[in-house]
Structure 1
Amino acid sequence: MASDRSIVEYFAEHERYRCGYCGNTDTNYSHGMWAHMLTVQDYQDLIDRGWRRSGKYCYKPSMPITCCPQYTIRCEALNFKLSTSQKKVIKRMNRYLIHGIKSGKTANDLEADESRDDKNQTTIPSEEKQQAGKQCSDAENNNQSEGTLEQTNDIDNIKAAENKIETVEGDVSSLSGKKKDEKKIKSVVGPDPTKPPCKKAKEMRLERRKQKLQQKVESVKDSGVDGNISSEQERPEPSADSKGQGHFMSVHQILQAESDKNKNKPKSLEDLLTEPERAGKCAHKLEIKLVRTHPASKELRYSYEESFEVYRKYQMIIHKEKSHECSKHSYGEFLLSSPLEPKYVEGGIPMGYGSFHQQFILDGKIICVGVIDILPYCVSSKYLYYDPDYDFLSLGTYSALREIAFVRELNKYAKDLKYYYMGFYIYTCPKMRYKGQYFPSFLMCPEVYSWHPVQDCNKILDQKKYSRFAEEGKEDENGKIDVNQVLIVHNGEAMPYEVYKAINPESSDEEEIKEYATFIGRPCAERMLLFRK
């Protein structure tokens, strides 16, 4: 069978099962299918209709009847705007990398870090996974503890320097002719008070520019020209308050205007993330390495044991799992196994499309791993795990910001790749609303599959937990299905359903085939191969 075709098995049953968000035992519903292989384009189209994968198992929540509706959410990475709290997370990381200074994080950071994985994002019925022969830990462990937001902050208490100052008693006038005792200052940390404060790089650049401009002014004066600069090439633009009066801005005014302009210009996401690289000598070195998981790359095999130990530690401490529950088998099925077939495009993104791990390596040691899929239009974040010893770095938020920056970098090679998918947004679960803080973000309408600003959707969800976001009258164009054109694979051969039905006249699965095709949409139904025995 050609590898450029997707092959799936569909499971029509969606029985009641436990919800990992509200805790009810039999109120969560979803449909599922086992993907033997998926092209990256087909999976892109599937997640744009509310599907999501866990290993090779793909599932779509039954939105109208499930207890906690799960809305697909994505962020426009190219237009992303940093919030104040997100800037603080980056600055906290930069302080640690550059100066080695640890600092605590807020309850909001802890909530975002703890929630940013599919252990909290998704619940999959174990009955369907058993039918598919799947033993991944994604949904089976959703009844585990959500973890605690009251984690201990790893904060170093920096002792204040003791200032020993010798005082002189008596009237100052009585000290005439005598040498005053010097004030002795012993400093443990901080700048040396006996030396002038260090200048910022921006101030030094402005001083150098001022010197150059001053030299030009002096050269004009030396040439016999009066105080005003008359050269058309060198004279500055007239100031706003002096236009029409024949006067021009002074050197000081020019520098002040440039300083004010730079001061008011906010730093970009990339500016903040790359500060340690520009700082020169740093206390710690952070490296981010991308390794392909399917097929397993040499880099993945080399780092497997170390990466697994971080996962095991994370599951046991954050999700309170027992040691035997964090097996290499479940780890492989959940976070290494993938149905996505790699795809490379000439002149496109260097690493190609498919499934990857993004490893965060601090001083040569893996401390965090982001599990992602790189698809034609987006980077889809699937899971995150990290060493809990480094939770003071807010790795959940920091890694998400890194992934957004990664999308922006990939967009330089592939102009259609411009979105960051964050999985599901569950309005009924307060811990999962943090995803709406990545601005601008949009939720998918569960009926028409159009995109709408999360702020507008929240107003609708205030009234009803399951809602349609699209305007009335709009229809799902890709939901109009001719069941006879749905592709089937039977006895190793691909054929339309009408041919399959002619070969198997006693088959009674037409309603199931139509339901499957409606859920995945017409383009996928006419490309993907549905396995039939």
Structure 2
Amino acid sequence: MEGAGIQTPGATAARYSYLFPIGYSNSSECGYCRQTRSGYSYYAIATSLTPAFYQKLVDRCWRRSGSLLYRPNQKHSCCPHYTLRLDSTQFKPTKDQRQAVNRFNRHIVGETYVRDAARLHPRSRAEVRRRHNVFDLVERIHEPEAELLKSPPSPDHVFTVTLEPDTFTEEKYQVFENYQRIVHREPPDRISRQGFKRFLCGSPLTRETMTGPDGTERQLGSFHQCYRIDGKLVAVGVLDLLPDCVSAVYFLYHESIHWLNPGKLGALREIALAREAGYRWWYPGYYVHNCAKMRYKIEYKPQYVLDPEDLRWYLLDKEALALFDTGHYVCFSGRTGDQREETGAPAVMNSIDTESSPKPAPPPLPAAAQTAAPDPIKARETDQESGGASPAEEDQEEDEDDFEDDFEDEDDAFLLASNMPGIPSLEEMRQVDMDGLVLRSDFSNNLIVASHLVIWDTEDIAQFGTLKSRIAELVAAVGPDLIGELCIDFRKRSS
């Protein structure tokens, strides 16, 4: 029997991440400059993602918007996207950032509390000297929290911060609606509960815990970091907590606290979380050099930029930033002998948020991902048993219910024939063994081995639009080395 001897996933099925391939397509509009037909990205829909798998995707230029995953082509974009990360253990707040924290803390506790607490709970001379000479970010960021304040006296306000599941509540939506309408000046007819749910709630990331090298447990998955003053929700940080990073998805706040610099405070609290909980790295999202509203991200140092071609990290120093002004597309791995991470010296290749923490709207789905199609998978004699571990069902908006395997739109292209940085070529993909890749279909409750498909030996990955070429595109986009962690999920979205 063909495929005999391949081990079934059984209880290990939960280790897979489940992705549906949409394809390589031109976006309808850029979220930064609003240019139409602004550049190509590879798109996929995630049904279920392990935090470890998504960490690897983020480290390969991917990001998510709800359950939509995308990897942009920096060479073919009006606004090239570059992944950044900051080392929280090396971070030193600037004077302006320190002042923002101190100003907020004094607002919460009040001048009376500061004066009376100094009398009732005096600090030693050594402690006063230490605080004067050293700004401990973790210590200062937690200082105004109600549960940590000494009493008496009583502070002017009760401030709490909680890490909560990324579920929808009306309380969160009211803050989102106010933020989008007042701060981002979004038209009311473009703000909806369904959009909030799709974009910022119900992440495909599975929620787990892991034990770090120091023996402490870290939470993994998607969360809402909720800020409350006197019991009222005033801000929400949407976070993906991954094995090696705190990834900032979005930050929103009520306009009534705009004067308190909430975007800056949120970023500093996320950096503090990365440091104290052992994640180490803080990912602020994409950096878009020609978008002035993104410049706030580089105010936090030291940051590193991910090179799109060798997928290694390079220090984002003054010299590196200057290179963004010399060419549309920047590659940091062009010089022989470059030192990465600590002292990366980038090279340029010629190409063919402000305080309110602005981040782009969810990228529009490509035209090829709008409608439904028959399930393309039929197995041969034997399927792999799924072991009962199924990916979480998603509450998708109407335009994500079903997807068509019709990629005939004029703005769709073949990824393996593109010039996308960091992607294997067609010839390189021919050398990749995809026979053991597992798939999921509406036709079976079991996982299917790719080599068991009727068409597997008759189709060629160079035949654009065929099932095998679609699978090869997704494998190339995520990386052939991740085949063992990936399940191609061809089930209908409504299932």
TM-score (norm: length of structure 1): 0.64
Change (3 A) 1:476 1:71: closer
Alignment of 1:175-190 (within 5 A): none
In the alignment, is the contact (CA less than 8 A) between 1:3 and 1:341 conserved in 2? no
Q: Secondary structure at the match of 1:3?
A: helix
- Which residue is equivalent to 2:160? 287
Q: Deviations over 1:31-82 (max 9, x none)?
A: 1101111111110100000111111110111111101001011110111111
Change (3 A) 1:61 1:41: same
Deviation of the 1:336 alpha carbon: 0.5
- Which residue is equivalent to 1:447? 309
Q: Secondary structure at the match of 2:485?
A: coil
Q: Secondary structure at the match of 1:97?
A: helix
Quick one: distance in 2 between partners of 1:392 and 1:427?
Answer: 27
In the alignment, is the contact (CA less than 8 A) between 2:42 and 2:72 conserved in 1? yes
- Which of 271, 295, 300 is the aligned partner of 2:139? 271
- Which residue is equivalent to 1:464? 327
Change (3 A) 1:426 1:279: farther
In the alignment, is the contact (CA less than 8 A) between 2:175 and 2:252 conserved in 1? yes
Q: Deviations over 1:307-337 (max 9, x none)?
A: 1111111111122233343221111111112
In the alignment, is the contact (CA less than 8 A) between 1:483 and 1:497 conserved in 2? no
- Which residue is equivalent to 1:399? 266
- Which residue is equivalent to 2:200? 335
Deviation of the 1:521 alpha carbon: 1.3
- Which residue is equivalent to 2:219? 352
- Provide the identity percentage: 29
Q: Secondary structure at the match of 1:484?
A: coil
Q: Deviations over 1:330-374 (max 9, x none)?
A: 111111121111223368665631111000011111000000011
Does residue 12 (structure 1) correspond to residue 23 (structure 2)? The answer is yes
- Which residue is equivalent to 2:472? 514
Amino acid at match of 2:282: Y
Deviation of the 1:490 alpha carbon: 4.8
Alignment of 1:38-53 (within 5 A): 38-53=49-64
In the alignment, is the contact (CA less than 8 A) between 1:33 and 1:57 conserved in 2? yes
- Which of 15, 30, 34 is the aligned partner of 1:23? 34
- Which residue is equivalent to 2:487? 529
Change (3 A) 1:71 1:205: same
In the alignment, is the contact (CA less than 8 A) between 1:50 and 1:71 conserved in 2? yes
Quick one: distance in 2 between partners of 1:262 and 1:329?
Answer: 50
Q: Deviations over 1:277-326 (max 9, x none)?
A: 45643111210011112xx4xxx6xxx11111111111111222333432
Q: Deviations over 1:424-462 (max 9, x none)?
A: 011111220211111111110011111111114212212
Quick one: distance in 1 between partners of 2:53 and 2:123?
Answer: 54
Deviation of the 1:28 alpha carbon: 3.1
Q: Secondary structure at the match of 1:352?
A: strand
Quick one: distance in 1 between partners of 2:457 and 2:59?
Answer: 33
Q: Secondary structure at the match of 1:470?
A: coil
- Which residue is equivalent to 1:310? 175
Amino acid at match of 1:205: S
Q: Secondary structure at the match of 1:46?
A: helix
Deviation of the 1:389 alpha carbon: 0.8
In the alignment, is the contact (CA less than 8 A) between 1:488 and 1:494 conserved in 2? yes
Does residue 385 (structure 1) correspond to residue 252 (structure 2)? The answer is yes
Gaps of 5+ in 1: 102-189, 192-196, 207-257, 412-416
Quick one: distance in 2 between partners of 1:445 and 1:87?
Answer: 31
Deviation of the 1:23 alpha carbon: 2.7
Quick one: distance in 2 between partners of 1:324 and 1:471?
Answer: 47
In the alignment, is the contact (CA less than 8 A) between 1:427 and 1:433 conserved in 2? yes
Q: Deviations over 1:452-511 (max 9, x none)?
A: 111142122121131111244699699965433372405445455444476562574444
Amino acid at match of 2:432: V
In the alignment, is the contact (CA less than 8 A) between 1:71 and 1:444 conserved in 2? yes
Amino acid at match of 2:136: S
Does residue 67 (structure 1) correspond to residue 78 (structure 2)? The answer is yes
Gaps of 5+ in 2: 1-9, 338-420
In the alignment, is the contact (CA less than 8 A) between 1:381 and 1:422 conserved in 2? yes
In the alignment, is the contact (CA less than 8 A) between 2:221 and 2:242 conserved in 1? yes
The higher relative CO (CA closer than 8 Å, separation ≥ 6) is in: 1
- Which of 478, 500, 505 is the aligned partner of 2:458? 505
- How many residues get paired? 376
Alignment of 1:160-199 (within 5 A): none
Q: Secondary structure at the match of 1:344?
A: strand
- Which residue is equivalent to 1:104? none
Quick one: distance in 1 between partners of 2:131 and 2:201?
Answer: 46
Does residue 58 (structure 1) correspond to residue 69 (structure 2)? The answer is yes
In the alignment, is the contact (CA less than 8 A) between 2:440 and 2:487 conserved in 1? no
Based on CA coordinates, which of the two structures has the bigger radius of gyration?
1
In the alignment, is the contact (CA less than 8 A) between 2:432 and 2:480 conserved in 1? no
Change (3 A) 1:91 1:279: farther
Quick one: distance in 1 between partners of 2:162 and 2:15?
Answer: 28
In the alignment, is the contact (CA less than 8 A) between 2:210 and 2:218 conserved in 1? no
Deviation of the 1:378 alpha carbon: 0.6
- Which of 279, 283, 291 is the aligned partner of 1:421? 283
Quick one: distance in 2 between partners of 1:515 and 1:495?
Answer: 19
Change (3 A) 1:349 1:306: farther
Compare the two structures and name the one with the higher strand fraction: 2
Q: Secondary structure at the match of 1:29?
A: strand
Alignment of 1:72-111 (within 5 A): 72-99=83-110
Quick one: distance in 1 between partners of 2:224 and 2:459?
Answer: 46
Change (3 A) 1:502 1:270: same
Change (3 A) 1:11 1:472: farther
Quick one: distance in 1 between partners of 2:423 and 2:27?
Answer: 30
In the alignment, is the contact (CA less than 8 A) between 1:483 and 1:517 conserved in 2? no
Quick one: distance in 1 between partners of 2:236 and 2:132?
Answer: 36
Quick one: distance in 1 between partners of 2:329 and 2:454?
Answer: 37
Deviation of the 1:85 alpha carbon: 1.0
- Which of 460, 470, 487 is the aligned partner of 2:437? 487
Q: Secondary structure at the match of 2:286?
A: strand
